[in-house]
């Protein structure tokens, strides 16, 4: 298992054991777990992602710490936009939608106001970092 996968595994375990709360560098931040289906593999993947609410929607950002490429989970949800989301102790199906301007910038700036490290991620890359909204599927 790669160090990133091991780190994510421990965050996921802590998230589930503590009703969605995670300590360490995540203390005080809101996370969700997004379950995607692999674009090529078809295998379910689970990733912890920083989030905030925008009305009834959850917002996640494909920053990958400012890396030059999008994270794998982002490519997976673009290919398969129906995802499973865990927030706190709740689990539900959602439709992922990649935002366009000016909404993308508005939501990214809101994340920066909540988690200032996202300003650094934006400064580290030349790519337009995607912002994704997750809308609960009613039913």
The pLDDT profile of the chain, 139 residues, written as one tens digit per residue, is 566 677 889 999 999 999 999 998 888 889 999 999 999 999 999 999 999 999 999 999 999 999 999 999 999 999 999 999 999 999 999 999 999 999 999 999 999 999 999 999 999 999 999 999 999 998 7
Domain that holds residue 62: 3-136
pLDDT in tens, 13-48: 999 999 999 998 888 889 999 999 999 999 999 999
- Spacing of C-alpha 33 from chain mean position: 7
In this predicted structure, what is the pLDDT of residue 24? 87
Number of domains the chain is built from? 1
- Residue 20: CATH number of its domain: 2.30.110.10
**CB atoms closer than 10 angstroms to residue 72:** 16
Report CA torsion sign: 14, 124, 51, 94. negative
């Amino acid at each position: 298992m790669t160090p990133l996968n091991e780190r994510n595994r421990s965050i996921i375990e802590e998230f589930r054991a503590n009703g969605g709360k995670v300590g360490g560098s995540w203390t005080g931040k809101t996370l969700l777990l997004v379950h995607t289906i692999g674009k090529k593999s078809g295998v379910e993947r689970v990733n912890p992602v920083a989030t905030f609410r925008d009305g009834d929607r959850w917002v996640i950002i494909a920053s990958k710490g400012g890396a030059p490429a999008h994270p794998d989970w982002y490519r997976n949800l673009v290919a398969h936009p129906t995802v499973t989301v865990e927030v706190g102790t709740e689990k539900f199906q959602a439709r992922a939608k990649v935002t366009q301007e000016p909404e993308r910038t508005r939501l990214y700036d809101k994340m920066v106001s909540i988690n200032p490290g996202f300003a650094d991620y934006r400064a580290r890359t030349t790519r337009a970092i995607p912002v994704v909204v997750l809308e609960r599927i009613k039913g």
